[in-house]
Amino acid sequence: MRMHFVALILAALLLVAPVVGPDGSSQVLAQEPSARAQVSADWTGEKIDLAQLFDAVVDAVDKDFFDQAALNQGHWRERAQAMRPAVLASPTIGDAVRQINALLAQLGASHTALYTPNDEQYYVLPDVLGTFTRTPMRDLINRRFWGSGPYYPGIGAFTRNVDGRNFVDGVLEGSPADRAGLKFGDEIVSVDGRPYGLIESFRDKIGSTVELMIRRTAGAAPERVMAAVIPVRPVQAFSDATEASAHVIERNGRRIGYLHVWALAESNSFTTALRELDPWPFACTHEKCLRTDGSSQPITEEMPNSLDALIVDLRGRVGGNVGVAGQLLKQLDGDSYWGTWQAFSRSDGARLPVTGQPSFRGRSAMLVDAHTRSAGEIVAYGYKRSAFGPLFGTRTAGAVLSGALHPMPGDLMLYLAMAGHEIDGHRLEGAGVDPDFRVEQPLPYAQGVDPVLDAAADFLSSAKAK
């Protein structure tokens, strides 16, 4: 008999508690006695001691990395010692961080990387992790973002480097980038006449407008686009974008709702967005209930669903909270989304129960790709395992571990895998979740075309869908 996936989610919640590393002393690599390699941080100009940084990273891995067997079997410590001179000889902090991340990649684990203030994850991770952030890390966050929480200067667009060119591969709905008309696949040639950098191009420009030169067709002359620079607060921005993404696709006479879940940091945005697509009744008499769309229904019958189907887009940027993953799945199944709403406008004052939102099980589809990671992959696995509907897109990231942030010298952040997860007795880490229908979405010069969304909408509007 098939186990309902919600039970698995509740079991997985036990894995989000902090994991204590093995006791005992750890090997600390020898420090340089006097003359140390120091480089300037391009975000502050302050000097960073590369020996101190490298040794702090290796020491943290040695003490807290969740898979000590992998450290031993892969002789990682010996390889770290061998790489140390090359890192100390790095001409820039960027070069040193690239070498350290190449070393960390040899661990073969997700949720493990070194980040600088030039990386979006430097701001996203501490905001998403929130209360799970350790005290030393909170001290760093308070020092850099006192009174506001993590934020970075930006326009609400994400990019991917392909063969040395930067292409937009994500635009937050409702953001300045969205309002400026940036599309998936646009090449960003320059910002204010200088080479593009995800954070660097907008640093010290919050409240101003920047000029982006973009190219939408290979070989074409760049076009000018103006966009406002804002403080992007990751969790709030992801939540606002999820709500702003809600719209209805009309296809073959069917109404298909669409929601883009950017992160599983909180569940309110998904609930609010779904409510916008399928509003609940707001007033009842002794004979009928009126919906916000003006239609009515006898109170003794189940309230109608204004949507024929639903598409949940999980092609976000980060994972999130396992508990929120479980809540999202329960909402799609209709078990606890609306519950029982009590009407109170009957003339005699009686309160009458109104039936809840019908389930979207069998009437929905989910979109996934390599950006679907961590808690998002748990949602994708549960959705597929419980036969809610088909998955469209490409394989998910295969990045399902729990990580913790460690402050590093120079105010850098080390994200380190601290625990593994098993679902149904097997691991998604390194494996990912395969879609039921593989659909590629080419990036360069795509001009906003989304064949994955089109394939899901065509399926749900056809006779194949239940």
Residues found in the chain? 466
DSSP string, 404-442: EEEEEGGGEEEEEEEEE--BTTB--TTT----SEE----
pTM: 0.82
Q: What pLDDT was estimated at residue 265?
A: 84
DSSP string, 252-289: TTEEEEEEE---BS-SHHHHHHHHHHSPPEEEE-SSEE
Specify the CATH architecture of the domain 152-232: Roll (2.30)
d(CA 198, CA 335): 41
pLDDT tens digit sequence for 30-70: 444 335 688 888 777 789 999 999 999 999 999 999 988 88
pLDDT tens digit sequence for 426-447: 889 999 999 999 999 999 999 9
**Res. 209: pLDDT tops 90:** yes
The top-level CATH class assigned to 22-145 is mainly alpha
Q: What pLDDT was estimated at residue 74?
A: 80
* Helix pair 322-333, 5-12: axis angle to 10 deg: 160
Note whether 22-145 and 152-232 share their fold: no
Residue with tokens 């913790």: 404
Least confident of 343-347, 409-413, 452-456: 343-347
Would you say 388 and 360 are in contact if contact means Cβ atoms under 8 Å apart?
yes
pLDDT tens digit sequence for 320-379: 888 888 888 888 875 533 333 333 333 444 444 444 455 787 889 999 999 999 999 999
For 323, other C-beta atoms within 10 Å of its C-beta total: 16
Instruction: Quickly state the pLDDT bin for 2 (edges 50, 70, 90).
Output: very low
Cβ-Cβ contacts under 8 Å for 84 (sequence gap 6 or more): 29, 54
The top-level CATH class assigned to 235-400+426-460 is alpha beta
Domain boundaries in the chain? 22-145, 152-232, 235-400+426-460
Q: Any bridge partners for residue 352, and if so which?
A: 343
d(CA 464, CA 466): 6
Q: Any bridge partners for residue 364, and if so which?
A: 310
